[in-house]
């Protein structure tokens, strides 16, 4: 069974918690410690990524982390240069909410060849940036406009098109450290209109935020910045419990 098949089966039972590790935002020790904490707290997945991740030390960091944990380590890349060996799987994303060809198809063109050569399992993922207040790093780096927060039907329409184009996952992103998480209506309409596995992330800072997004239809909740600010295993366990 592929990792995607296993996750899709698990998702039918309950929502999953992904802990995002940004190798650039955290010191080497923090990267490892937060990864271990996620495993011990009962998180389901580790995502690794960031807008500016350099790849030089990444395979070593992933290998170190793998020695301690038994949950999938999934690359969540900001670009083709981040596709390096060692990951169990990756989100093969296209930034469908934007109109910048570099992140719609060009990075994929370069990255796809590396993914094939390395044999990494890839989940076809429609990545959408939803406005969450002040500009986020992904908005700035990708040079794309986010979907307005009060236009959930636009998100739904992008999700429908993505599903028809063969995507199986959609990532509704408010942006790392966003002022507020993705508004619920975007998740609700996407859930009603598609069978995509819905990942929601960005600005989720409380178990209640997470739970509300699961109730709206999200299948995977991503949390990252909060653990950089407050690496508290008890709080992480509360997140795990809240989304069951
Ligand atoms: C960012 O969605 C992820 O790409 C997680 O966001 O860091 O705000 O938790 P936070």
- Express each pLDDT in 141-168 by its tens digit: 999 999 999 999 999 999 999 999 999 9
Ligand 1, atom nearest to 226 Cα: 9
pLDDT at 201 over 70: yes
Q: Is 217 in the pocket of ligand 1 (CB under 6 A)?
A: no
| pLDDT at site 158 | 99
Mean pLDDT (the chain) is 96
| pLDDT at site 24 | 80
Q: Is 53 in the pocket of ligand 1 (CB under 6 A)?
A: no
Q: Is 178 in the pocket of ligand 1 (CB under 6 A)?
A: yes
| pLDDT at site 23 | 85
Tokens of 220: 């995977």
Q: Whose CA is nearest to atom 5 of ligand 1?
A: 202
Beta-carbon-side half-sphere exposure of residue 206 (alpha carbons within 13 Å): 5
pLDDT at 37 over 80: yes
Q: Whose CA is nearest to atom 4 of ligand 1?
A: 176
| pLDDT at site 26 | 65
Q: Tell me which of 8-12, 54-58, 115-119, 187-191 is least confident.
A: 54-58
Q: Is 79 in the pocket of ligand 1 (CB under 6 A)?
A: no
Q: What is the tens place of the pLDDT at every residue in 45-84?
A: 999 998 776 677 889 999 999 999 999 999 999 999 999 9
Q: Where do the domains of the chain lie, and which CATH numbers do they carry? A: 3-243 (3.20.20.390)
- Best residue among 22, 146, 173, 221 to mutate for probing ligand 1, ranked by most atoms within 8 Å of CB: 173
80 Cβ neighbours under 8 A, 6+ residues apart: 107, 108, 110, 111, 114
Q: Is 77 in the pocket of ligand 1 (CB under 6 A)?
A: no
Ligand 1 midpoint to CA 91 (Å): 15
pLDDT at 177 over 70: yes
Ligand 1, atom nearest to 200 Cα: 2
pLDDT at 115 over 80: yes
pLDDT at 235 over 70: yes
| pLDDT at site 29 | 86
Q: Is 176 in the pocket of ligand 1 (CB under 6 A)?
A: yes
SS3 assignment for the chain: CCHHHHHHHHHHHCCEEEEEECCCCCCHHHHHHHHHHHHHHCCCEEEECCCCCCCCCHHHHHHHHHCCCCCCEEECCCCHHHCCCCCCEEEEEEECCCCCHHHHHHHHHHHHHHHHHHCCEEEEEEEEEECCCCCCHHHHHHCCCCECCCCHHHHHHHHHHHHHCCCCEEEEECCCCCCCCCCHHHHHHHHHHCCCEEEEECCCCCHHHHHHHHHHCCCEEEECHHHHHCCCHHHHHHHHHHCC
User: pTM of whole model > 0.85?
Assistant: yes
């Amino acid at each position: 069974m592929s990792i995607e098949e296993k996750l899709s089966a698990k998702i039918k039972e309950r929502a999953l918690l992904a802990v995002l590790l940004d190798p650039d935002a955290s010191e080497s020790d923090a990267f490892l410690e937060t990864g271990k904490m996620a495993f011990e707290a009962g998180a389901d997945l580790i995502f690794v990524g960031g807008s500016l991740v350099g790849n030089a030390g990444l395979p070593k960091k992933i290998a170190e982390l793998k020695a301690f944990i038994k949950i999938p380590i999934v690359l969540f890349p900001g670009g083709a240069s981040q596709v390096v060996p060692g990951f169990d799987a990756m989100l093969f994303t296209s930034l469908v909410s934007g109109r910048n060809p570099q992140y719609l198809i060009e990075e994929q063109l370069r990255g796809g060849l590396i993914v094939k050569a390395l044999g990494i399992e890839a989940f076809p993922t429609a990545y959408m940036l939803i406005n969450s207040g002040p500009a986020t790093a992904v908005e700035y780096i990708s040079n794309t406009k986010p979907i307005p927060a009060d236009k959930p039907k636009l998100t739904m329409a992008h999700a429908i098109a993505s599903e028809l184009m063969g995507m199986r996952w959609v990532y509704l992103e408010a942006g790392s450290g966003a002022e507020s998480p993705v508004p619920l209506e975007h998740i609700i309409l996407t859930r009603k209109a598609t069978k995509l596995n819905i990942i929601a992330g960005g600005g989720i800072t409380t178990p209640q935020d997470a739970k509300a997004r699961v109730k709206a239809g999200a299948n995977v909740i991503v949390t990252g910045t909060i653990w950089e600010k407050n690496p508290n295993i008890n709080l992480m366990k509360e997140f795990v419990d809240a989304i069951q």
